[in-house]
Amino acid sequence: MSRAVTLKSPAKLNLLLGVTPQIVAGRHLLTSVFTTISLADTLTFCFDGTRERLVTIEVVSDPAIPPLNLHTEDNIIYQAVQALEGSCNRELGGHLHVMVEKRIPSEGGLAGGSSNAAATLKMLAGLWGLKSHSEKVLNAARLVGADVPFFLYGGCALMGGNGGELVRGLPQPALDLVLVKPPVGVSTGKAYEAFDADPQPLPPLERLIALLDTPGAAPWLLAQEFANNLSRAACSLAPELEEIIGELAAQPGVYTAQLTGSGSTIFGVCESTALAAGLARYFTQQGYWSIACSTL
């Protein structure tokens, strides 16, 4: 049996991230409102069931982002294959070649790797006749990474636990966005260590959820409720982030500027697609990776 499948693998933003000091099984408990965005990698899967088990991964990175050079065994795509094999107690039984057209920068808080892993799980679930939300697939997703289960759902969602438990799906807001990422990356582990040394209160959640549930809620109203209590810790590790947030937030027509996840990508909610595009050009000229995009 042979099959070729191409899937989009979108990035995510944390519209709200609330980290608690409580740690369960080595991970912080948190609340997050995720949304997928139009920035995406493209994964093409070619499976040849007549050959012995083999996974090969080819990554072609957009010239605007640093190339991703990993051994196959260290790539989260390979780890997703292994996790689903273990969860289903079966072997791949063929040659899977994955071609990744990479547009999502790494170490940016955009969860491109987690999205790639979820796309891989979806492809294998289809190959094996499983539903992508089945418990076996979700178990594999949780093993691979905290953000991976969200991408099996996509859209906009309230996630709990360590970020991998769906609390409820949410209507996806229509937002025009500009993303700005400096060359510096932020280690998620170090960001959480800095948070533990100086924990911040949980941001309020209820008003944001109510607005998302309100059809036609204005982007500027929604933007007022976006929050990230991990931002202070990340900015303490990379002070340049605070400067970018301040500069972006000060631009006319930008409703808010905020770090996504532990960074180092900052997103601004803009009044129009034209403004987002203009700001992306401006920040690119300043030496940053920057792109205009929207919620899907």
Mean pLDDT (the chain, rounded): 96
Q: For residues 207 and 229, is the Cβ–Cβ distance under 8 A?
A: no
Q: pLDDT tens-digit profile of 200-231?
A: 999 999 999 999 999 999 999 999 999 999 99
The full set of domains in the chain, from first to last, is 2-170 (3.30.230.10), 176-294 (3.30.70.890)
In DSSP notation, 206-217 reads HHHHHHHTSTT-
Annotated catalytic residue, options 41, 102, 122, 147: 147
Please indicate whether residue 136 is annotated as part of the active site: no
Model confidence band, residue 24 (pLDDT cutoffs 50, 70, 90): confident
Annotated catalytic residue, options 12, 102, 122, 181: 12
Please indicate whether residue 41 is annotated as part of the active site: no
Cβ atoms < 10 Å from Cβ of 82: 15
H/E run at residue 144? helix 135-144
179 has pLDDT over 80: yes
Q: pLDDT tens-digit profile of 144-174?
A: 999 999 999 999 999 999 999 999 999 999 9
Q: For residues 28 and 192, is the Cβ–Cβ distance under 8 A?
A: yes
Q: pLDDT tens-digit profile of 236-292?
A: 999 999 999 999 999 999 999 999 999 999 999 999 999 999 999 999 999 999 999
